[in-house]
Amino acid sequence: MEEPFITRRQLFGKTMAAAAGVAAAGTAAWAARLASTHRPPRTFSDLIPADNPHVREAAFWKTACHGVQCELCPFGCFLPEGSRGICKVRMNSAGRLVTMVYGHPVSVHLDPIEKKPVFHLLPGSLIYSLAAAGCNLRCSFCQNWEISQAHPEEASGKTMVPRELRILAVSGGRAQAQVLADETATLAPEEVVKAALATRCRSIAYTYSEPAVFYEYVRDIAALAKKAGLRNVMVTAGYINPKPLAELAPLFDVVKVDLKGFDEGFYRRMVGGELRFVLRTLSELRRHKVLTEVVNLVVPTLNDDPAQLKALAAWVRANLGPDTPLFFSRFQPQYKVQNIPPTPVATLTLARDLAMREGLRYVYVGNAPGHPGEHTYCPKCRQVMVRRQGYLVLENRISASGRCPNDGTRIPGIWG
């Protein structure tokens, strides 16, 4: 039988089909060879070892689009897979938000509580102070920028941790002591509380960097510390949302807030945030009845305008009350601000005077040892109640119940 006639178009089609079949077979063979010699593509979650003790699921987030939305602070970072928040320590890993610094302090010290500075909680006592890496602000004058602006990976080594304080001798009212410490990369919340008690501290401070960004670690330590009879102090820039703050508030005896200035432009340029959110935090702390102390670092030419200082004090008086402790602290050249000299003491004195004229009763000068603004005075009899020299408490006349021995005036704080 005669073969059917094949047109040129049909012949071309059959040729192309045959070629495509050969190509497909070749592609399949190439893919098989590639799969046998190379691992499949990994997600960013594969880069975090499953047994990393510092990685825990974070609080305050939700799924959004093809990522997660962090709800811890006002930035509300949207994070696709593998990306981190502005704080550098909270990350989208396999579709969930994780903290990368749980149980991983980068700085742990025994401090006098006056160093925080906190003046209305147990003057002269030791406070167990710790920090993890990270911060959600970008202060150009940060004094702890090596840890606050660091990624967790940059602080992945071991940290010296005070474990015990031994009293060797007591003479003339002063004690000679030895601090026993060791190095560790992981410090669980229960170990922090145990070490704080063994080093004769009466409180724990979450400080140096920004405790809001290692929220879960702070929360778990503070809960255990409270049960153990220790006081809790958070030293913060106040950049946190109301709901997370509300959950922390019952655990804290004092929150010390760094109010960097009183101008939105200054906050955006020099701090990397917005003033209104810090003021919101301060108002929320008052609503939760948490003892709050406010510190303003006075930086020459940047936030030292007398009108601004007066407005800051007026806001504190009107919104937090006249008994709110307010510090004006001396700036020293730091980090990206090396071309500005230290704050003149006269500027700090003026700031204190302005605040007291606005009706604030407890206004302090910080980082200027020997200044009369270091002391706590009774607002009624004007006598010195707590006399300080730098971090040293020379005299404390306030009773354990918090009253002036002269006239019985109640001094706000925790004194015994």
Q: What percent of the chain has pLDDT over 70?
A: 88
Q: Is 409 helix (H, G, I), strand (E, B) or coil?
A: coil
The pLDDT, as a whole number, for residue 32 is 61
The pLDDT, as a whole number, for residue 97 is 97
Q: Is the pLDDT of residue 300 over 50?
A: yes
Say which DSSP state 52 is in: -
Domain coordinates in residue numbering, the chain: 44-99, 107-157+186-396
Q: Is the pLDDT of residue 31 over 80?
A: no
SS (H, E, C) 343-377: CCHHHHHHHHHHHHHCCCCCEEEECCCCCHHHCEE
pLDDT digits (tens, 9 = 90+) for 347-384: 999 999 999 999 999 999 999 999 999 999 999 999 99
- In what helix (H) or strand (E) does residue 30 lie, and over which residues does it extend? helix 8-37
Distance CA 115, CA 100 (A): 28
Closest to 329 in 3D by CA, of 345, 308, 313, 314: 345
Architecture of domain 107-157+186-396: Alpha-Beta Barrel (3.20)
Distance CA 415, CA 401 (A): 7
The two tokens of residue 276 are 């209104």
The CA-atom distances, in angstroms, between 269 and each of 78, 160, 229, 266, 274 are 23, 35, 42, 5, 10
Say which DSSP state 113 is in: G
The two tokens of residue 214 are 């290692």
Rounded average pLDDT over 314-324: 98
What's the start-to-end Cα distance of the chain, in Å?
115
Let me know: does 85 contact 152? Beta carbons within 8 Å: no
When pLDDT is cut at 50, 70 and 90, the band that residue 5 belongs to is very low
More confident residue, 174 or 341: 341
Let me know: does 281 contact 258? Beta carbons within 8 Å: no
Q: What is the mean pLDDT of the chain?
A: 91
The two tokens of residue 308 are 């601004």
The pLDDT, as a whole number, for residue 53 is 86
Distance CA 205, CA 252 (A): 10
Residue 242 CB contacts under 8 Å (≥ 6 apart), including other chains:
280, 281, 284
Q: Is the pLDDT of residue 220 over 60?
A: yes
Distance CA 117, CA 369 (A): 13
Say which DSSP state 41 is in: P
* pTM score, whole prediction: 0.88
